[in-house]
Amino acid sequence: MMMTSEWMFCTLPSQTFTRQKHGATKQLTFSAFPMALDFNDLIKQKSTIIPNVSNQDLLNTVITLYDVCLPDIGVENIRDTVCERGARTILLLRNFEDVLKEYQDNLWPDVDVKSSPVEGESNGRGMSKFTAVFSDSESEEEQDSDSEVKESEKFQSTMKEFLAMVIERRHQRKHSPNIVSNIGIECCVVAALTYKNSTLILRPMVVILESYLKDTQEFLTAISKVENLGDTSWTKGREKIIEITLLSTRKRYRGCGVAKYIITLLKDASFVGFYDAIVTHADNRAVDLFSCCDFCDDIILNSRFRALDQDWTNVTTMSYFPPFSAGPAACADAKDLEAEITKWSQKSLAAHEAQAIFMRRVFQEMKALRKQVASQEMEIQKLKAVLEKERMEKTILIKELLQHQVKKLQNIHFSQLGEHKEEETMTLKPNTNEKIELDGQEMELQATVMTALSQQAIEEIKTYTAKLHDPDVYQRLYYCDRRGQLQPLMDILSNGFSPEDIQQEEYGTGLYFSTSLATAITMSLQHYCVLVADVYTGKVQIDGVKPTNRTCPPEGFDSIQIPGRLSISEPEFLVFSHLQAIPVSLLKYRSGPSQDGKHT
């Protein structure tokens, strides 16, 4: 290995690579040697590290190789990455003599244009930007400073000169393939990898707990124990990370294990020094390659390297962690290891104390909250019980009041029926001037005939209705009689309803009553007489079914409410006993005067 006083480059022994060509018995076998370079310092030196190859041409070759394989990044960005301070590049090169011999044996004709940096390569995602081979590059969108513009112009100028020399050597090889000077550095490049060292600041659990327990004396005591250990880097841990930024292999040499060899070389701690992890943002096409090199793409594991993310697209973050034998502990003596173990034990103990204090305080807080919730729940239950008691008492009082009012009205009603009071004293006597409109025709009230039930009939009705589920509920309704005769209505008015008045209709056999006067008049079949009755509906069930054979109310109910049987009808009520209705009066209507002033 050759090294300068300042780390600029080093070389390693050559390696042999072999690839069996698919569909052929002939193998591709070649030798190449790795070289580690620091282009940030190298391009500032006048002395060359490869005979007859300027350091600038070597840099341009690497940039060209990266741009051919990764054209989406851009030449300027590639140059900035390769020449970044602290960045190093592992370059795999072939000897000029070996390449010349292949040209002489016609093993590597210039028709391999896609593998040559001068010829360019299209990977389906973009084209390289080099003159005469790649598509012309567009100007930068953002304006650079004067120094950046001058540096960019200088770089473009040297790149043009480099490409001109490459094209010139290309023509010379066609005429003089036996001259070694016609073999340029671009013919010897096999692969390149650029990496840089980064420091990752980690915050362990103690620092996380500090944000929750800044005012906790016990926690501050635990932190002071850690600080007394004299190792402040533990509270803000640092890890040495090797970050792979660029990796490319010429298409001609792919499948020979070149990239895997360079990555394996990078993993060697004796070559790059001790490190904690290697991280790369792998192109989606290179995920399998890094997986074969023991890199892991676990999202949770790689979340710690989020700070190293750059503006890459279509990439997967992958990481490699070296074995313990490759770390500093492998070279430490027994005393150093024992001291490290003791320090680690003290740190772990302090961290455990801080976590235990935190968990105990959380546990105590949880107990206090549960006790508070239980107390509030008990208070809520007590308030609910009081509220329910008050609600029940209120319901009872309202029910008693309603029952008292209904009973009072019922007594007045029955007393009025028993004493045969005159028409003026009836509570709901229709107005003699009342008029209604039916089918566009005005109907005028002609006469009102009041009932004259006997006291015995009234007592019989009271005895029957007392057995209903809700005996205090009655409504003043209009009797719907479809027999079309006036005499049955007069009999009902005098003697009350009888079993002969029960009719069989579509909703069942019983007495039908409506809340609509118009409905009752329409069903009177043009004699315009309507019977008004107090109907003890009791507990009502709403039912729209039409069982004609129904002769009694549903279980638990006294009557049913049905839809109106006419298009103009309001809801109707059906009772199944003649003792659930008391006739009140008979209303006789006549149609209004016609246009000539006469009644129809």
Whether the CB-CB separation of 552 and 510 falls below 8 Å is answered with: no
- Pair 396, 268 in one domain: no
pLDDT of 548 higher than 80: no
- The larger pLDDT score, comparing residue 407 to residue 188, is at 188
Condensed to tens digits (0 to 9), the pLDDT of residues 499-535 reads: 998 988 888 899 999 988 888 888 776 567 889 999 9
pLDDT of 155 higher than 80: no
The pLDDT of 463-480, averaged and rounded, is: 89
Token pair for residue 132? 């005469």
Confidence of residue 247 (pLDDT cuts 50, 70, 90): very high
pTM of the model: 0.49
- Pair 296, 162 in one domain: yes
Whether 1 is in a domain gets the answer no
Which domain-ending residue is among 326, 359, 375? 326
- Pair 45, 163 in one domain: yes
Give the pLDDT of residue 93: 92
- Exposed, middle or buried, 65 (CB in 10 Å: 0-12/13-18/19+)? buried
Enumerate the β-bridge partners of residue 514. 478, 572
- Pair 119, 194 in one domain: yes
Tally the domains of the chain: 3
* Cα-Cα end-to-end distance for the chain: 133
Contacts for 66 with CB less than 8 Å, ≥ 6 apart: 73, 78, 82, 192, 194, 246, 248
Whether 506 is in a domain gets the answer yes
- The larger pLDDT score, comparing residue 220 to residue 76, is at 76
Q: Where are the alpha helices (DSSP H) in 470-577?
A: 487-495, 517-523
- The larger pLDDT score, comparing residue 4 to residue 207, is at 207
**Parent domain of 103:** 9-136+148-202+236-326
The pLDDT of 259-272, averaged and rounded, is: 90
- The larger pLDDT score, comparing residue 284 to residue 320, is at 320
Give the pLDDT of residue 147: 53
The pLDDT of 296-317, averaged and rounded, is: 81
Whether 142 is in a domain gets the answer no
Confidence of residue 139 (pLDDT cuts 50, 70, 90): very low
Which domain-ending residue is among 301, 326, 351? 326
